């Protein structure tokens, strides 16, 4: 049963917002849950966080970074096209209990996942501050959305091309130090981004004793607890991200192991990309960039 | 009666071991008409046929074999269908040596009648020569929901549809079939056969809704409610299987290159990693160690072999205790899979980047029998050794998936997580029935199918009484 793409927007060079018509997914979706899509018969089952849902219309929206073959395939599709499968909502909803003063740290495409959670906390009356980090200006996304659901938004870029220059961890440390000095420490940190960033954020928040929730994105196949491919170690115990997560207490996650496991298919994925797209991701991006330039100059 | 007094079964033509261990085509090619007639003539047509008592669903074995001797293959097929829904599949994957064939009187002096091979023959013959799609029966106006499209769910849906029920099967994966689709490999059970059974269900009017996760997208209570979108079912059958992989607790389990058999087999069977056209990645493997010796382990080992790896199966008990079907074990050996029996892994070893480089094992010897009479393996002190490999596949069994359990707390479960149900599939929750691996834990196709049929009858009684 194919699923229609009802809306698609490009948010930045490599970020896309895609809305699927998938009433069964929309009807019980909650913030923090994810869906899996499969582009066509030959495609992989790809996990992705549900950013918005419209139960009335039966639509679900995801915000996706183009990083490899499958995400590039979806990015190349248009409104009105169909993907083979959309299944969900999977995983557990995010929990907002006992939160009052919250700091949200988002890294790159992680901001897409962090934003609905920040909104969830904000809508429940929490004090929310957001630190959003991006490599460079060209990939900044969701600034307005994030600004609308927090008290303070700190935009950071690695190269200083937008907002403040520096990593999210630097800003985080500064804010925690300040809050500590003022005697009003954050009670919760929600951190979503690349694994190494989450690892370092957790090291810092642990120092300050700030409870930290992370969203783990592991390699998945079925998303229902059947393959164990998404397993990780939390507090010395084996957990399956798809059914026990994706949200975990960041101070208990074995990040080094998760980082090693995330690299299992790196080489094969590059090959799949070549086969599907007849070029590398870089060449694809360059080609688009050239087309954009040409269009501009043409005008 | 029996005109063939040969003490041995007619062998089934097979692909040569050294050819088939490089392809994913079916291993056993099936009896020809001549072989089938010859084998059928070995049956003594016992008056009190023991074979039937050994069959979990009591297929009328001598009756269908007699029809074969009369060359009424279609009649034979329909005779089997009186008790079983999936003859083409069961003829291929049933552990006949523990069931019907273990009881066959011809097995006392010599080999039993090749009942499984004959079952497969009639199913294949009909499919090739006289296949017809079933007609859609008249509807009785009642609706039933089925959760899971494994053999339990398929059998339940099929029987209910034949009685006129409007049945919807909800399946989490993108393809129907359960283990038949994602677990058992193509070379043992061609997926086209499974698809055929599913097409027949559709022809009966059953709706199969893939990408529908019960317990997440829909709750059991919603299916049973009057909700105009998703409700309106008078009963629900749960055939959600036992898909949760069990991992042994040894150090190194999460290194790159350690897979559950479910993951490895799903990548290959469901996601077709061996087929160039599919995107599914699979890490390159050259030396594989499979832990365990059940059907699942044999399937994983034989798949790894077909991907070009050198494969060693490590099992802590002896040859006699191997739980896999004998045929699978024999096939695996013929395909040059190495067996290290009485050997237990103690640790998985990795390089500095966390990639598997080997496995440390210890030799075992058999000690006193345990509660089930199997001799308990005990470690031989000082016998540890290391074995080089770049992938480890854990095939130590599965248990019922907790997803549905978490979403449906108002039903009773066993300590091991199985749904509590009686022999008719009646659970502790009104209107909810269950069967197959979800109830029993990992078992067999035929038992799951039987449970699905039993529950269909119970559901019919339940709804008709309302
Ligand atoms: C629960 C969950 C929620 C997610 N939510 C989002 C989201 O909202 N937005 C978003 O952009 N992405 C999200 N992801 C990550 C997304 O699934 C991956 O980006 C995607 O799998 C990459 O597929 P690909 O074929 O395009 O790239 P590939 O060619 O498969 O891989 C390209 C690169 O991405 C890495 N990678 C592959 N799969 C994953 C994965 N599952 N997680 C992390 N890295 C991976 C590879 O190691 C490689 O370096 C989520 C993942 C999970 C498990
Ligand atoms: C590799 C392997 C080899 C085997 N070989 C043999 C053999 O040779 N002979 C033999 O007799 N038996 C064999 N078995 C065992 C046999 O396959 C199982 O006993 C049988 O398939 C159980 O059937 P089932 O219908 O209970 O469940 P399954 O076949 O497990 O099907 C359950 C289905 O339900 C779906 N599901 C689960 N939860 C949900 C949910 N919440 N919502 C929607 N859908 C859901 C699953 O995705 C799955 O498709 C083997 C098993 C494996 C894994
Ligand atoms: S027990 Fe053997 S010989 Fe007797 S009826 Fe059954 S198959 Fe035929
Ligand atoms: S994705 Fe298979 S168990 Fe989580």
Q: CA torsion, points A25, A27, A33, A39, in degrees to nearest 10? A: 20
The mean pLDDT value of chain B amounts to 92
Question: Which residue in B117, B137, B46, B26 sits closest to B76, CA to CA?
Answer: B117
- Rounded average pLDDT over A50-66: 92
Contact flag B254-A233 (C-beta cutoff 8 Å): yes
Determine contact: A277 vs chain B, CB below 8 A.
Answer: no
Contact flag A260-B218 (C-beta cutoff 8 Å): no
Ligand 4 atom closest to the Cα of residue A241 is: 4
List B189's β-bridge partners, or say none: none
User: Which of B218, B268, B295 to probe ligand 2 with, by most ligand atoms within 8 A of CB?
Assistant: B295
Q: How far is CA B195 from the centre of its chain?
A: 15
Indicate if ligand 3 lies below 6 Å from the C-beta of B50: yes
B137 and B204 in contact (C-beta within 8 Å)? yes
Q: Give the fold, CATH level 3, of A3-90.
A: Elongation Factor Tu (Ef-tu); domain 3 (2.40.30)
Nearest to B172 among A25, A224, A238 (CB): A224
pLDDT value at residue A267? 72
Q: In this structure, which residue's CA is closest to atom 2 in ligand 3?
A: B104
Domain ranges (residues) in chain A: 3-90, 101-215
Ligand index nearest the alpha carbon of residue A90:
1
Host H or E run for residue B221: helix B220-223
Q: Give the pLDDT band of residue A252 (cuts 50, 70, 90).
A: very high
pLDDT at residue A137 is higher than 90: no
End-to-end CA distance of chain B: 50
Class level of CATH domain A101-215: alpha beta
Contact flag A85-B212 (C-beta cutoff 8 Å): no
Determine contact: B267 vs chain A, CB below 8 A.
Answer: yes
pLDDT for A141-152, tens place per residue?
889 999 999 999
Q: In this structure, which residue's CA is closest to atom 2 in ligand 4?
A: A227
Q: pLDDT truncated to tens, each residue of chain B (466 aa)?
A: 567 888 889 888 888 888 898 888 889 999 999 999 999 999 999 999 999 999 999 999 999 999 999 999 999 999 999 999 889 999 999 999 889 999 999 999 899 999 999 999 999 999 989 877 888 889 999 999 999 999 999 999 999 999 999 999 999 999 999 999 999 999 999 999 999 989 999 999 999 999 999 999 999 999 999 998 899 999 999 999 998 898 888 999 999 999 999 999 999 888 887 877 888 777 778 899 999 999 999 999 999 999 999 999 999 998 988 999 888 999 999 999 999 999 999 999 999 888 999 999 999 998 888 887 777 889 999 999 999 999 999 999 888 888 999 999 999 999 989 999 999 999 999 999 999 999 999 999 999 999 999 999 999 999 998 8
What domains can you pick out in chain B, each with its CATH number? Answer: 17-129 (1.10.1060.10), 143-243+400-465 (3.50.50.60), 245-397 (3.50.50.60)
Ligand index nearest the alpha carbon of residue A218:
1
- Nearest chain B residue (CA) to A237: B249
Q: Ligand 4 center to residue A224 CA distance, Å?
A: 6
Nearest to A43 among B255, B263, B279 (CB): B279
pLDDT for A99-108, tens place per residue?
999 999 999 8
Residue A293 has φ and ψ, to the nearest 5°, of -60, -45
- Nearest chain B residue (CA) to A43: B279
How close does chain B come to A257, measured CA to CA in Å? 7
Indicate if ligand 1 lies below 6 Å from the C-beta of A161: no
- Angle at alpha carbon of residue B163, lines to B159 and B167, rounded to 5°: 70
Determine contact: A43 vs chain B, CB below 8 A.
Answer: yes
Four-residue CA torsion sign, B31, B32, B35, B41:
positive
pLDDT for B68-93, tens place per residue?
999 999 999 999 999 998 899 999 99
User: Which of B182, B241, B246 to probe ligand 2 with, by most ligand atoms within 8 A of CB?
Assistant: B241
Q: Ligand 4 center to residue A244 CA distance, Å?
A: 10
The pTM score is 0.91
Pocket of ligand 4 (CB under 6 A): A 220-223, 225-230, 240-242
Q: In this structure, which residue's CA is closest to atom 53 in ligand 1?
A: A217
Q: Ligand 2 center to residue B136 CA distance, Å?
A: 27
How close does chain A come to B249, measured CA to CA in Å? 10
Counted across chains A and B, CB pairs separated by less than 8 A come out at 120
How close does chain A come to B403, measured CA to CA in Å? 7
Concatenating the DSSP letter of every residue in B103-158 gives: H-GGGTTSPPP-HHHHHHHHHHHHHHHS--PPPPPPP-S-EEEEE--SHHHHHHHH
User: Which of A51, A255, A269, A284 to probe ligand 1 with, by most ligand atoms within 8 A of CB?
Assistant: A269
Q: Give the pLDDT band of residue A189 (cuts 50, 70, 90).
A: very high
pLDDT value at residue B249? 84
List A231's β-bridge partners, or say none: A240
How close does chain B come to A148, measured CA to CA in Å? 30
The mean pLDDT value of chain A amounts to 89
Q: Ligand 4 center to residue A222 CA distance, Å?
A: 5
Indicate if ligand 1 lies below 6 Å from the C-beta of A109: yes
Q: Ligand 3 center to residue B44 CA distance, Å?
A: 6
What stretches of chain A show up as alpha helix (H) in DSSP?
23-26, 69-75, 110-123, 143-147, 168-181, 195-207, 241-244, 255-261, 266-277, 281-298
Contacts of A47 in chain B (CB under 8 A): none
Query: Within the 196-225 window of chain A, which residues sit less than 8 Å (CB to CB) from chain B?
Result: 221-222, 224-225
Contact flag B278-A42 (C-beta cutoff 8 Å): yes
Among A169-173, A278-282, B221-225, B254-258, which is the least confidently predicted range?
A278-282
Q: Residue holding tokens 């291993």?
A: B27
How far, in Å, CA of A84 to CA of A146, rounded? Answer: 32
């Amino acid at each position: 049963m194919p699923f229609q793409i009802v809306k698609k927007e490009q948010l930045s060079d490599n970020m896309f917002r895609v809305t699927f018509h998938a009433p069964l997914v929309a009807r019980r979706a909650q913030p923090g849950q994810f869906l899996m899509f499969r582009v066509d018969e030959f495609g992989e089952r790809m996990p992705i966080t549900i950013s918005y849902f419209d139960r009335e219309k039966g639509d679900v929206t995801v915000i996706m970074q183009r990083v490899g073959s499958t995400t590039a395939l979806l990015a190349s599709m248009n409104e009105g096209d169909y993907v083979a499968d959309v299944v969900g909502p999977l995983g557990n909803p995010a929990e907002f209990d006992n939160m009052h003063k919250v700091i949200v740290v988002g890294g790159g495409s992680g901001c897409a996942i962090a934003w609905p959670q920040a909104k969830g906390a904000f809508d429940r009356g929490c004090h929310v501050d957001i630190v959003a980090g991006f490599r460079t200006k060209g990939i900044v996304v969701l600034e307005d959305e994030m600004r609308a659901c927090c008290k303070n938004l700190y935009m950071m870029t690695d190269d200083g091309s937008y907002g403040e220059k520096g990593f999210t961890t630097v800003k985080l440390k500064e804010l925690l130090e300040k809050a500590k000095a003022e005697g009003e420490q954050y009670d919760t940190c929600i951190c979503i981004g690349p694994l190494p960033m989450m690892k370092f954020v957790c090291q810092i928040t642990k120092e300050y004793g700030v409870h930290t929730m992370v969203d783990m994105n592991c390699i998945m196949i079925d998303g229902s607890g059947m393959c164990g491919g998404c397993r990780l170690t939390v507090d010395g115990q084996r957990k399956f991200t798809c059914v026990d997560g994706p949200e975990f207490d960041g101070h208990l996650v074995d990040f080094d192991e998760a980082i090693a496991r995330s690299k299992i298919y790196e080489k094969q994925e590059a090959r799949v990309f070549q086969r599907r797209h007849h070029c590398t991701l870089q060449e694809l991006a360059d080609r688009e960039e050239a087309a954009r330039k040409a269009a501009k100059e043409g005008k | 009666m029996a005109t063939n007094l040969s003490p041995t079964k007619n062998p089934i033509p097979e692909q040569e071991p050294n050819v088939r261990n490089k392809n994913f085509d079916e291993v056993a090619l099936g009896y020809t008409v001549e072989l089938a007639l010859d084998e059928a003539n070995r049956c003594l047509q016992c008056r009190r046929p023991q074979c039937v008592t050994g069959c979990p669903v009591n297929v009328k074995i001598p009756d269908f074999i007699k029809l074969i001797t009369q060359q009424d293959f279609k009649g034979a097929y329909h005779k089997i269908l009186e008790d079983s829904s999936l003859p083409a599949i069961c003829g291929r994957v049933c552990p006949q040596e523990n069931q019907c064939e273990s009881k066959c009187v011809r097995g006392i002096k010599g080999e039993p009648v090749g009942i499984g091979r004959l079952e497969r023959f009639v199913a294949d013959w009909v499919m090739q020569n006289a296949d017809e799609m079933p007609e859609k029966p008249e509807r009785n106006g009642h609706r039933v929901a089925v959760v899971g499209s494994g053999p339990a769910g398929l059998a339940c849906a099929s029987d209910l549809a034949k009685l006129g029920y409007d049945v919807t099967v909800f399946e989490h994966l993108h393809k129907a079939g359960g283990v038949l689709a994602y677990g058992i490999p193509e070379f043992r059970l061609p997926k086209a056969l499974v698809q055929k059974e599913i097409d027949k269900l559709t022809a009966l009017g059953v709706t199969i809704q893939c990408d529908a996760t019960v317990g997440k997208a829909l709750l059991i209570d919603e299916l049973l409610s009057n909700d105009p979108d998703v409700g309106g079912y008078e009963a629900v059958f749960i055939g959600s299987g036992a898909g949760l992989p069990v991992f042994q607790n040894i150090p190194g389990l999460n290194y790159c290159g350690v897979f559950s058999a479910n993951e490895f087999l799903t990548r290959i069977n469901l996601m077709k990693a061996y087929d160039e056209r599919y995107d599914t990645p699979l890490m390159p493997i050259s030396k594989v160690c499979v832990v365990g010796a059940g059907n699942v382990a044999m399937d994983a080992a034989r798949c790894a072999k077909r991907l070009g790896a050198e494969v060693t199966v490590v099992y802590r008990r002896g040859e006699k205790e191997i739980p896999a079907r004998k045929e699978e074990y024999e096939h695996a050996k013929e395909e040059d899979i190495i067996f290290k029996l009485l050997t237990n892994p103690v640790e998985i070893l990795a390089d500095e980047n966390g990639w598997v480089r080997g496995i440390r094992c210890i030799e075992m010897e058999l000690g006193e029998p345990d509660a089930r009479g199997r001799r308990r393996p005990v470690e031989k002190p000082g016998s540890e050794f290391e074995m080089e490999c770049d992938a480890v596949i854990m095939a130590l069994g599965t248990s019922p998936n907790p997803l549905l359990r978490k979403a449906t707390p108002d039903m009773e479960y066993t300590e091991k997580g199985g749904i509590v149900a009686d022999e008719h599939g009646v659970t502790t929750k009104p209107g909810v029935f269950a069967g197959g691996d979800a109830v029993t834990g990992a078992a067999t196709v035929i038992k799951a199918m039987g449970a699905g049929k039993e529950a269909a009858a119970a559901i019919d009684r339940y709804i008709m009484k309302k």
